[in-house]
Amino acid sequence: MSGSYQRTQKDIAMLKGKTALVTGSTSGIGLGIAKSLAEQGARLVINGFGDKDAALAEVRAIASAHGARVAYSGADMSRPDDIVAMVRDAERDFGTVDVLVNNAGIQHVALVEDFPPERWDAIIAINLNSAFHTLRAALPGMKARGYGRVINIASAHGLVASAQKSAYVAAKHGLVGLTKAVALECATTPVTVNAICPGWVLTPLVQKQIDARAAASGSSVAQEAVKLLGEKQPSLQFTTPEELGALAVFLCSPAAQNVRGVAWAVDGGWTAQ
């Protein structure tokens, strides 16, 4: 194998000594990104609800190969005080937060006139406002230490809309706008701020939507999954958490130091239409 293609230990552990905080990383995309960052040697702060022990075990198994520690925060991304405390705890325990992935998110599907106001508020708080609170807590440390990577997990719905998803579309468009504004504020610093905009990824968040569609239409879950892709995603394939993890790793690399304020679609052509 030629020298340029040989993976050295240094390449593999690009994030050794760095700390990554991934919100909503007990499941789905966040867990996939946390595992990819752990493969690069990063210390990890895992956050989210549900089966946290299984998620922690998966990430710890990867991180331990690099001697990197993994911590858990049960902070609720709808609570600003929890969010700021999570960042402060990470900085206290690990010394730094170098990579911040704002990933936690929820969904609710209904016509705007039927949308429960408390669901609207929860979606805006968790999918958008939480990124403001993590950013204001983590950016000063990143700037002071001379390295920072912020990756906001928006959505194809940060670029285009779908009916019955008003809160989600508003939050994700807001997250793309927040990404651009803060990227500009950081443009002359070593801190980059970008968004990833996935199309359909088969995680619990999407499985619930497929199950609801199958229940409503009377067709099978498998048929509904194919229909769902056919409506929006020309590749007819789900994006995977591993693919998003690989993009997050690239955005953390030195090669991405001038990638700033982008909303990078990984959507099988959804937003190219």
Catalytic residues: 168
Q: Is 271 exposed, middle or buried (0-12, 13-18, 19+ CB in 10 A)?
A: middle
- Of the residues 30, 141, 174, 261, which one makes contact with ligand NAD according to CB under 6 A: 30
- Of the residues 19, 27, 36, 192, which one makes contact with ligand NAD according to CB under 6 A: 27
Q: How big is the site for ligand NAD, counted in residues (CB under 6 A)?
A: 29
CB of 129 to ligand NAD, least distance (A): 11
Q: Do 104 and 30 meet the contact criterion of CB atoms below 8 Å apart?
A: yes
Q: Dihedrals φ, ψ of 138, to 5°?
A: -95, -25
* Interaction between residue 148 and ligand NAD (CB under 6 A): no
Q: With respect to ligand NAD, which residue has the nearer C-beta, 148 or 198?
A: 198
Question: Of residues 38-77, which lie at the interface with ligand NAD (CB under 6 A)?
Answer: 47-50, 76-77
CB of 273 to ligand NAD, least distance (A): 16
Question: Of residues 200-219, which lie at the interface with ligand NAD (CB under 6 A)?
Answer: 200-201, 203-206
CB of 153 to ligand NAD, least distance (A): 4
Q: What is the DSSP string of 131-153?
A: HHHHHHHHHHHHHHHT-EEEEEE
- Residue with tokens 């690989």, as numbered in its chain: 246
User: How far is the C-alpha of 11 from the C-alpha of 127, rounded, in Å?
Assistant: 33
| Per-residue contact string for residues 87-126; x = within reach of ligand NAD by CB under 6 A | ----------------xxxx-------------------x
User: How far is the C-alpha of 218 from the C-alpha of 240, rounded, in Å?
Assistant: 27
**Residues paired with residue 44 on neighbouring β-strands, in sequence order:** 20, 70
User: How far is the C-alpha of 249 from the C-alpha of 99, rounded, in Å?
Assistant: 10
Contacting range for ligand NAD; rule: CB under 6 A; set: 33-41, 181-189, 195-203, 226-234: 195-203
Q: Is 18 exposed, middle or buried (0-12, 13-18, 19+ CB in 10 A)?
A: buried
> Would you tell me which residues interact with ligand NAD (CB under 6 A)?
24-30, 47-50, 76-78, 103-106, 126-127, 153, 155, 198, 200-201, 203-206
